[in-house]
Structure 1
Amino acid sequence: MTSTAPSSSRVSPAATATATPPATVTPTAAVTPTAAAASTAKAAPTAAATERRRRPAVDWRLRFAFLSVVWGFSFLFIKVGTDGYAPFQVTLGRLVFGTAVLMAAMAVKRERLPGGARVWGHLAVAALLLNALPFSLFAYAELTIPSTLAGICNATSPLWGMALSLVALSEDRPTRIRVAGLGLGFLGVLTVLGVWQGFDGLNASGTALALLASLSYPVGWIYVRRTLAGTGHSNLSLTGGQLLLATAQLAVVTPLFTSLPTSFPVLPLLAVAALGALGTGLAMLVQYGLVAEVGPTTAQMVTYFTPVIATAAGVALLGESLTWSTPVGAVIVLAGAALTQAKARSRGA
């Protein structure tokens, strides 16, 4: 998925879930993750201003809702995809379809991939941290945990992001509200996991993989902010290159750890296609427009809706069970994540 960047960064993973990022987005989300997009917002003010002057055909609220839904459903798509294919194969398919969408968008807009060995080297690291690694971890996690739990784990990215930014970004100083939000958020994680029951019935390895995936996003965001800001390349160009490299990474890894499928079940294949084309490629393009039109602070609010959609989809469509601690803990996590963004909101978009 999707996922949201630290408050001091303008990064949003292509992920998402998810989101991710989702992604490179994001939220988010499996979200989704478009780290390159936000990290270069300051580097290309002319392009951003041009985007703002164009009146979009679809109201931003509808695009915001679309992003929330598609990143929320990303965890369902992963679950369905892994019913027919190995996790690495799901991730590779996701990246192939997502990259195809971005390459098509670049062709329409006559954008070129970035140049320079240094830029491509940094993009390779970003591709690993924001795409290849978290996407694969979420896919493996959902072999043993429900999609609802994966979606909620993805919502912890802002918490990890704030904790890491306090260490890695000297200009990002803690406030009492943000520290309280960090503590509250992790209290919510413990509530979701049912710590008072000794984590009874919880698959520890699957949950750990999902939390590691969520941690990978802010590590990637911080890396991108330190290395790719100010390159002068457009958001679309950088993110297209990033996804292309992530696809290449999975194309190398997948044959080493999986065998060619003996059959190609249709429903899991459609889920992987939707995960890549909608939850990764198209979602990143939609996110570009949102950031340009309403600013990163408002755009990243989609992170708070993603786990709600993921939970509803998992329960309603996959029949996943839901105990009281899951939604209660999720609300606490989101409240904590919101508090960690207090500094960004007080400054505006």
Structure 2
Amino acid sequence: MPQKPNLARELSLLLALATLWGASYTFIKIGVETIPPVTLIAARTLIAGAILLAVLRHRQIRLPTDRATWRRFFLQACLNSVIPFTLIAWAEQSVDAGLAVILNSATPIFTFLLTVLIVRHEQVTARKLFGVMAGLAGICLVIGVEALSGLGESLMAQIAIILATACYAGAAIFSKNFKGLDPAVPAAGSLISGAVILLPVSLVVDRPWTLDPSAASVLALLALSAFSTALAFAIYFRLVQTLGSVGTTSQAYLRVPIGVTIGIVFLGESLSPTAWIGLICVISGVAAMTIPARLGTTRERIV
């Protein structure tokens, strides 16, 4: 009889994923200072894919060889890396990393809507609905209304981030197609597929051999590839299988308070009492959206 996943462990992994992806916006911001977006993301997917390939080889796990699975890998790559990574990197040339985090935190909302209106493959409970609303309310309290005062500036860049957010939602739902595979397999397969798509574009558009990236950008790229991509993707595909697509994307709510905490520790920033209340709302929203994914009952189902 298969052992049930430990909920506390899965929630810890959710927090780790939020931290890894929360840090990625800062890495991208530093990276695009001297590395063009397409080349940055091409290198990101290539390095991260190579790391995961090495891990799979060490564990003596082989990638699938059938065309059907690789078609799914390529589609997953478009939804989860090629399009959203590139859009966010391009946007962060003119948009602050903090604003990118705020806009990108709407992933669970898109996932919720896609699940309800189109896919309908996952139970949508009253508790999850509460989680969506509590999470959004928490983000508004943590960040404050004034943080969105620049929403009208760099409009195209902000729309690009919202499109990336919708792609992430589609990726979370589509990744259910990899159920039964070791989490590192679709992570590696989709990243390799992303590199195959982006590398030729980088060679033609950016001519990377002519670039002179700074040491800071290179280090940011390496951290982005190893931690915020390779490790994060392996955790991501595991959580989709255990917490579900809506539950997994709820980590987006945690990115903002994590960023605020980093600011307090390293930049001397401070939180208002309202923001602390918002942080509690965020944690409540995440718990509400993830716990039902493991423990929900048919009585809670509303769709």
Shorter-normalised TM-score: what interval?
A: 0.7 to 0.9
- Match for residue 347 of structure 1 among 288, 296, 299: 296
Note the 1:180-259 alignment, pairs <5 A. Answer: 181-182=131-132, 194=145, 202-225=153-176, 228-229=177-178, 233-259=181-207
Q: Provide the secondary structure at the position in 1 that maps to 2:42.
A: helix
Q: Report which stretch shifted further, 126-135 or 187-196.
A: 187-196
- CA distance in 2 between counterparts of 1:128 and 1:160 reads 17
Pick closer, same or farther for the CA change 1:86–1:179 going to 2, 3 Å: same
Aligned to 1:16: none
User: What is the Cα deviation at residue 127 of structure 1?
Assistant: 0.7
Q: Provide the secondary structure at the position in 2 that maps to 1:138.
A: helix
Aligned to 1:147: 97
Note the 1:12-91 alignment, pairs <5 A. Answer: 66-91=16-41
Pick closer, same or farther for the CA change 1:171–1:269 going to 2, 3 Å: closer
Query: Is 1:124 aligned to 2:80, yes or no?
Result: no
Note the 1:159-198 alignment, pairs <5 A. Answer: 159-172=109-122, 174-179=124-129, 181-182=131-132, 194=145
- Match for residue 268 of structure 1 among 204, 211, 217: 217
- CA distance in 1 between counterparts of 2:68 and 2:11 reads 38
TM-score normalised per structure 1: 0.67
Question: Taking CA–CA contacts closer than 8 Å with sequence separation of 6 or more, which of the two structures ends up with the larger relative contact order?
Answer: 2
User: What is the Cα deviation at residue 179 of structure 1?
Assistant: 4.3
Note the 1:302-317 alignment, pairs <5 A. Answer: 302-313=251-262
- CA distance in 2 between counterparts of 1:197 and 1:148 reads 10
- CA distance in 1 between counterparts of 2:159 and 2:272 reads 20
Query: Unmatched 5+ residue regions in structure 2?
Result: 298-303
Aligned to 1:39: none
Pick closer, same or farther for the CA change 1:117–1:276 going to 2, 3 Å: same
- CA distance in 2 between counterparts of 1:198 and 1:280 reads 31
- CA distance in 2 between counterparts of 1:133 and 1:173 reads 28
- CA distance in 2 between counterparts of 1:71 and 1:139 reads 14
User: What is the Cα deviation at residue 66 of structure 1?
Assistant: 4.8
RMSD over equivalenced CA pairs, Å: 4.1
Aligned to 2:227: 278
Pick closer, same or farther for the CA change 1:329–1:209 going to 2, 3 Å: farther
Contact residue 79 and residue 139 of structure 1 kept, 8 A: yes
Aligned to 1:19: none
Contact residue 132 and residue 250 of structure 1 kept, 8 A: yes
Contact residue 250 and residue 289 of structure 2 kept, 8 A: no
- CA distance in 1 between counterparts of 2:147 and 2:88 reads 25
Q: Report which stretch shifted further, 317-326 or 96-105.
A: 317-326
Contact residue 139 and residue 279 of structure 2 kept, 8 A: yes
Superposed CA offset, 1:22-66 (max 9, x none): xxxxxxxxxxxxxxxxxxxxxxx97xx5x979xxxxx98986665
Pick closer, same or farther for the CA change 1:102–1:229 going to 2, 3 Å: closer
Note the 1:291-306 alignment, pairs <5 A. Answer: 295-296=242-243, 302-306=251-255
User: What is the Cα deviation at residue 150 of structure 1?
Assistant: 1.5
